[in-house]
Amino acid sequence: MTQLSIIIPAWGSAEALETTLSSVLRHRPPACEVLVIHQGSYDDPYDVCDEVLFVESPGATEVDLLNVGLEIAEAPIVHFLGCGVEVSAGWTDAAMNHFDDDQVGSVATVVLSAKGNRIASAGVALHARGRQPLAQGAAVGARGVGSVTPVGPSMEAGFYRRDCLNWLEGFDEEVGRDLVDIDLALGLQQLGYPCVLETACPVLGAIDSPKPVNAFDEGLGLERLRLRHAPPQGWMQRLSHAFLMASEFCGALPRGKAFSKLRGRWAAARDRSLASDYQERLDEAQAAATSAHLHAFPASTFEWDLRRVA
């Protein structure tokens, strides 16, 4: 029986995809399937179609590729790997063990820099300015890295319980490509399915990143993320958020992005139904978890640090 679906969304170069794919096939764990989701531009020159399921999704965005892989995956645990990531023997073992605990919704791994001497991320968390990769820049083996508490995995190398992702309808492009992992992680937290960090299975992350998001879409996604996941706010939190936006505006002025980013935030803030629509989705996800006769938990007691999400 397939226990793990390894999903590689091919949004980078063919060279980066082949680096990751050859690494995975060299160290392939037992009872797994390997899926490569691409836009139709990859023709499998090494003829590994007997070992890998290649799925074409013409015109798909980067987030679409993630969701197509999730839809096709058959295993109860899914593992996303970004193009350019390299793995080593046994890299899935320690992470998979965490899913013996029904409360665990996801497992974050340590992603190393291209040279392997620094940490690119140890999962992600929520910061006042959005998504924050944890332990970024720390030396490999630095004290305290194992004690960080991620909200979720980074999308470059994350393990997830597949049913949990399906209940939340997968990755949501409304927040923008660069925020889909933290948005999903926060949703899992609120359902009561937290993330754990596993430091024993690092991957090497020479990530082949897509083009940067434009300033308007960046502001739109950040504000949507805040409105979905920040608690009801009093005047102090609103004032704090106004100061944050002013600081962000001034910081973006030299790059010529200030007005576009502010317009994006304003466009999201005008959507009065955004928070209630997302809460309705969470309620439906909780109902789905309960009806599936899996371990459904009461609403999460996770408490927000208002200073971080103002």
What structural domains does the chain harbor?
4-205 (3.90.550.10)
| Angle at which helices 180-191 and 274-291 cross, to 10° | 60
CA–CA distance, 2 with 165 (Å, rounded to integer): 18
pLDDT tens readout for residues 24-63: 999 999 999 999 999 988 888 889 999 999 999 998 899 9
CA–CA distance, 67 with 166 (Å, rounded to integer): 9
Is the whole model's pTM more than 0.85, yes or no?
A: yes
Which of 90-94, 143-147, 217-221, 271-275 is the most confident on average? 90-94
CA–CA distance, 38 with 66 (Å, rounded to integer): 10
DSSP 118: B
114-123, 172-181, 242-251: which range is least confident on average? 242-251
Looking at the chain, the whole-number percentage of residues with pLDDT higher than 90 is 58
CA–CA distance, 205 with 146 (Å, rounded to integer): 18
Give the Å distances, CA to CA, from 213 to 59, 153, 220: 17, 21, 11
Q: What mean pLDDT, rounded, does the chain reach?
A: 86
Whether the CB-CB separation of 156 and 136 falls below 8 Å is answered with no
pLDDT of residue 13: 86
Which of 156-165, 212-221, 226-235 is the most confident on average? 156-165
Nearest alpha-carbon partner for 73 in 164, 25, 165, 5 = 5
User: Is pLDDT at 302 greater than 60 in this prediction?
Assistant: no
Could you tell me which residue, 309 or 138, shows the higher pLDDT?
138
pLDDT confidence bin for 86, thresholds 50/70/90: very high
User: Is pLDDT at 80 greater than 70 in this prediction?
Assistant: yes
Half-sphere exposure of residue 218, counting CA atoms within 13 Å on the CB side? Answer: 18
In this prediction, residues 84-96 reach a mean pLDDT of 96
In this prediction, residues 161-186 reach a mean pLDDT of 95
In this prediction, residues 131-146 reach a mean pLDDT of 89
Q: Which residues pair with 6 in a beta bridge?
A: 34, 79
pLDDT of residue 169: 95
pLDDT confidence bin for 308, thresholds 50/70/90: very low
Q: Which residues pair with 101 in a beta bridge?
A: none
Could you tell me which residue, 232 or 11, shows the higher pLDDT?
11
In this prediction, residues 176-204 reach a mean pLDDT of 94
